[in-house]
Amino acid sequence: MPPVFARKLTFPEPVTPHNVHIMRQLVINGPKAYPGAMMVQNEDGQQISLERKTIEERTAIANQLLTPQEGSAASNPNGLATRTPAINKKVLRHLQDGDILILNRQPTLHKPSMMAHRAKILKGEKTIRMHYANCNSYNADFDGDEMNIHFPQNEVAQAEARMIANTDNQYLGPTSGSPLRGLIQDHVVAGVHMCNKATFFSREEYYQIIYGALRPEDNYTGQGRVHTLPPAIWKPRPMWTGKQIISTIMVNITPPNLEGLNLTSKNKIQNSLWQRDDGSDPNMSEEQAVFLDGYLVRGVLDKSQYGASAYGLVHSVHEVYGPESAGRLLSILSRLFTKYLQHIAFTCRMDDLILTKEGEQIRAQILEDAKGDGARAAMEYVGLPKDGDLSDPDTARNLAIRLEEILRDDDMMAGLDGAMQAAFNKTTSKINNVVVPGHLVKPFPDNNMQTMTISGAKGSKVNATQISTLLGQQALEGRRVPTMVSGKTLPSFKPFDTSARAGGYVANRFLTGVRPQEYYFHCMAGREGLIDTAVKTSRSGYLQRCLIKHLEGIRVHYDHTVRDADQSVLQFFYGEDALDVTRQKHLYQFDFCLQNMKSFANRFSAADIEDKMDQDTAVSLMKKALKKPNKYEPPMSKYSPSRYLGSMSEKFAAELEKFVEKNPGKLLGTKKTAASDVPQGLRHDQLIPPSTFRILSRVRYVKSLIDAGEAVGLLASQG
Ligand SMILES: [Mg+2]
């Protein structure tokens, strides 16, 4: 926050013997100095502005802060009989570092459009700044966006902001349960670079980068002590890998009572794209990020791990260690990658876009082969022989007459457009699939343009091909460029021209330039996108308002029912399984749960629930109900899922049983399990008994139940 804002936003801080010295100083500082105070509020609610007071007057007021006002105890400023009269004076002090603020960006389309942030006053700044990870939730960028900031005015509101509305707790979107917050752009590129097999760090670099990322002085490591790892290479000098830096961070952020993270997650970057590897050994593949006991043992980290992607590293940390750790990890990773990028730098230049000579030839050949496609497709569509000769004047005239007929009929024209587009799209995809990325001068890990598009940092494959190969067919409202009455698309073409170019097909690219007609067509298609967004926002905005207004009263009650404003039941269980969307995303990931069994067991402390819930009744009914669903009632209809452990949706129970029976990782087992069924490197006593796993899964189900009072009507209308 800039100081201009900090001096205007105030909080009525009650004066007590504990803080009187600080409050006195703030009052003496007055409204203009920072930190200071705007006003002093007496016990009866009367406010004394410090605006026009001299320093002597302010000092006099400051000295009286603990002196009770005469006859104050009886009076009540708000006239509310229920409210306890204030017994102390209040100082309306300036906003300070660490205060909690509610930020809001309009349009406020969903819950995370308002989040609570901790303030940091930035001296000399004039703009509001915030962490990039929140841009997604607010849909904010920095091209002139404005945001509203509210300062909660009492301790209860502040507690709510800190515990419920804070950014860490808004990691998952309430409509889909998938992550909203994540790192973007430079951080994604830096992550891929850093975890690359070719990246190594000397002792100085390793310590410097770890220290900058972890910030032990801000207690980011738990104990204020940074744990480091021994180097991967000792001779000729100690070197650490980029993966070890990630491992070091994971070791440091793992909460003391929990175990290291175990995770196997698929990356965005396919293994085949790492052209330096031969790709023959699947154990060396970078396609999967594998964490064992908190150590990153294989795979690079990219957008799918710490971007806003489901089941990635940050999402998994959120599930196992909780929202605070996930938020912390995001902050640490963003500092880490920023710092790393300052050392290596990143750029994109012409040689990242150029094709090899061979690639150019392939591109030219495919375009040459496709030259007659337009005429062929047109002749076939109008019913002339496909291989007819257009240099024959009769055929040419015949075609022109039939094309004119088609032009006057919109439906016929749509058909022609479709036929032509189908013919040309083949050429476009043929070129793009063969040439990019196979025939670029620089292959992937060294090609910065490809690094950006493949890792998901910025741009797509379409952007890359539009630069390097061709723009392709330009479309308006799903059709080709419209023809005028003259039978031309632009005055520079012949009437009823069947060539691809006249219909808006651009065979040129940005790298070498497009011709004027092609540029014009491209602008037409680009403009359509702008119009669409302008029209769509107003319509979808009104539609959403209508939905929200009608559904806003619907909420979940203590008996798990979803009810209307007049208490009529809409659903006996929210979503038929009574689960919270944000908590159920990981619930069906049995393998992940099993791998992190100890951490889950410690976090959910199953022992807490044991004596508070019925353990067997619902379980035995579920067993029968799964076998004979027609004979027995669904357990949830008989036993409340919050009172009876094992009262779950049949779908979940069935999936759980299926997993236990299949036992894909062979981690489930007992002492009696055959030695051949125990995974390599594990002992019998390290196997997890299926019964323990079942109990934990049931406990997780209970913990994932939706809270009473949740306004699910709003959630429904947002999706
Ligand atoms: Mg903007």
pLDDT digits (tens, 9 = 90+) for 496-539: 888 888 888 999 999 999 999 999 999 999 999 899 889 988 88
| Shared-domain flag, residues 282 and 194 | yes
Cα-to-centroid distance, 130 and ligand 1 (Å): 14
| Shared-domain flag, residues 387 and 296 | no
Give the CATH number, domain containing residue 481.
1.10.132.30
86 band by pLDDT with thresholds 50, 70 and 90: low
Cα-to-centroid distance, 180 and ligand 1 (Å): 18
Cα-to-centroid distance, 139 and ligand 1 (Å): 8
Cα-to-centroid distance, 124 and ligand 1 (Å): 23
Residue 391 has what pLDDT? 77
Cα-to-centroid distance, 144 and ligand 1 (Å): 6
Residue 383 has what pLDDT? 81
Q: What is the pLDDT of residues 90-105, one digit of tens each?
A: 999 999 999 999 999 9
Tokens of 81: 């009989």
| Shared-domain flag, residues 153 and 192 | no
Cα-to-centroid distance, 290 and ligand 1 (Å): 37
**Other Cβ atoms within 10 Å of 96 Cβ, number:** 17
700-710 per-residue burial string, b: 16 or more CB within 10 A, e: under 16: bbbebbbeeeb
Segments forming the whole domain that contains residue 125: 100-170
State the DSSP H helix or E strand holding residue 378, giving kind and residue range, or none if neither.
Answer: helix 373-382
Q: Is residue 351 part of a domain?
A: no
Cα-to-centroid distance, 373 and ligand 1 (Å): 43
82 band by pLDDT with thresholds 50, 70 and 90: low
Cα-to-centroid distance, 530 and ligand 1 (Å): 15
80 band by pLDDT with thresholds 50, 70 and 90: low
Do 104 and 111 form a contact (C-beta atoms < 8 A)? no
CA distances from 530 to 73, 525, 536 (A): 63, 9, 10
| Shared-domain flag, residues 514 and 612 | no
Q: What is the pLDDT of residues 666-715, one digit of tens each?
A: 888 877 777 777 888 788 778 888 888 888 888 889 989 999 998 999 88
Cα-to-centroid distance, 185 and ligand 1 (Å): 17
Cα-to-centroid distance, 137 and ligand 1 (Å): 13
By C-alpha distance, which of 100, 118, 105 is closest to 148? 105
Residue 84 has what pLDDT? 58
Q: Is residue 553 part of a domain?
A: no
| Shared-domain flag, residues 244 and 313 | yes
Q: Is residue 428 part of a domain?
A: yes
Q: Is residue 355 part of a domain?
A: no
Q: 513 has which bridge partners?
A: 509
Q: Which amino acid is at 371?
A: K
Q: How many domains does the structure of the chain reveal?
A: 5
Question: With 80 as the cut, is the pLDDT of residue 623 above it?
Answer: yes
Mean pLDDT of the chain: 87
Cα-to-centroid distance, 117 and ligand 1 (Å): 20
Give the CATH number, domain containing residue 116.
2.40.40.20
Do 501 and 518 form a contact (C-beta atoms < 8 A)? yes
Residue 275 has what pLDDT? 61
Tokens of 690: 């299926």
Cα-to-centroid distance, 145 and ligand 1 (Å): 5
| Shared-domain flag, residues 390 and 522 | yes
Tokens of 305: 């791990």
By C-alpha distance, which of 50, 53, 134 is closest to 94? 50
Cα-to-centroid distance, 133 and ligand 1 (Å): 16
Do 525 and 473 form a contact (C-beta atoms < 8 A)? no
Cα-to-centroid distance, 140 and ligand 1 (Å): 6
Question: With 70 as the cut, is the pLDDT of residue 68 above it?
Answer: yes
| Shared-domain flag, residues 196 and 339 | yes
Give the CATH number, domain containing residue 208.
1.10.274.100
Rounded CA-CA distance 433/271 in Å is: 17
Cα-to-centroid distance, 161 and ligand 1 (Å): 26
Give 175's contacts (C-beta < 8 A, 6+ positions apart): 110, 581, 715, 718, 719
Residue 284 has what pLDDT? 73
Give the CATH number, domain containing residue 64.
3.30.1490.180
Question: With 80 as the cut, is the pLDDT of residue 72 above it?
Answer: no
Cα-to-centroid distance, 107 and ligand 1 (Å): 12
Tokens of 133: 């990870």
| Shared-domain flag, residues 223 and 159 | no
Cα-to-centroid distance, 147 and ligand 1 (Å): 11
Question: Could you give the percent of the chain with pLDDT greater than 90?
Answer: 40
Cα-to-centroid distance, 664 and ligand 1 (Å): 47
Rounded CA-CA distance 131/670 in Å is: 48
Q: What is the pLDDT of residues 598-608, one digit of tens each?
A: 888 888 876 77
Tokens of 405: 């007929």
- Can you spell out the DSSP letters for 57-117? HHHHHHHTTTSPPTTTTT--TT--TTSPPP-S-EEEEEP-TT-EEEEE-SS--SGGGEEEE
Q: What is the DSSP letter of 290?
A: E
Rounded CA-CA distance 530/536 in Å is: 10
Q: Is residue 42 part of a domain?
A: yes
Cα-to-centroid distance, 36 and ligand 1 (Å): 34
Residue 389 has what pLDDT? 75
Question: Could you give the percent of the chain with pLDDT greater than 70?
Answer: 95
Cα-to-centroid distance, 595 and ligand 1 (Å): 42
Residue 296 has what pLDDT? 92
Cα-to-centroid distance, 438 and ligand 1 (Å): 36
Region of poorest pLDDT, from 56-70, 125-139, 278-292, 702-716: 278-292
Q: What is the pLDDT of residues 205-239, one digit of tens each?
A: 999 999 888 876 566 665 667 888 999 999 999 99
Look at residues 511, 529, 547 and tell me which one is the last residue of a structural domain: 529
Do 204 and 231 form a contact (C-beta atoms < 8 A)? no
Residue 570 has what pLDDT? 94
Cα-to-centroid distance, 308 and ligand 1 (Å): 20
Rounded CA-CA distance 234/607 in Å is: 46
Cα-to-centroid distance, 127 and ligand 1 (Å): 14
| Shared-domain flag, residues 414 and 476 | yes
State the DSSP H helix or E strand holding residue 150, giving kind and residue range, or none if neither.
Answer: strand 148-150
Cα-to-centroid distance, 196 and ligand 1 (Å): 34
Look at residues 94, 126, 146 and tell me which one is the last residue of a structural domain: 94
Cα-to-centroid distance, 509 and ligand 1 (Å): 29
Q: How far is CA 71 from the centre of its chain?
A: 56
| Angle formed at CA 231 by CA 225 and CA 235, multiple of 5 degrees | 145
174 against 385, higher pLDDT: 174
pTM of the predicted protein model: 0.87
Q: Is residue 546 part of a domain?
A: no
Question: With 90 as the cut, is the pLDDT of residue 371 above it?
Answer: no
Cα-to-centroid distance, 718 and ligand 1 (Å): 22
Cα-to-centroid distance, 173 and ligand 1 (Å): 21
300 band by pLDDT with thresholds 50, 70 and 90: confident
Cα-to-centroid distance, 111 and ligand 1 (Å): 19
| Shared-domain flag, residues 90 and 113 | no
Q: Is residue 473 part of a domain?
A: yes
Region of poorest pLDDT, from 142-151, 233-242, 710-719: 710-719
| Shared-domain flag, residues 592 and 640 | yes
Give the CATH number, domain containing residue 662.
1.10.357.120
Question: With 90 as the cut, is the pLDDT of residue 419 above it?
Answer: no
Cα-to-centroid distance, 330 and ligand 1 (Å): 23
Q: Is residue 540 part of a domain?
A: no
Residue 145 has what pLDDT? 92
Look at residues 94, 113, 136 and tell me which one is the last residue of a structural domain: 94
Cα-to-centroid distance, 70 and ligand 1 (Å): 54
Cα-to-centroid distance, 687 and ligand 1 (Å): 53
| Shared-domain flag, residues 191 and 154 | no
Rounded CA-CA distance 506/496 in Å is: 18
Cα-to-centroid distance, 646 and ligand 1 (Å): 48
Residue 467 has what pLDDT? 92
Cα-to-centroid distance, 146 and ligand 1 (Å): 8
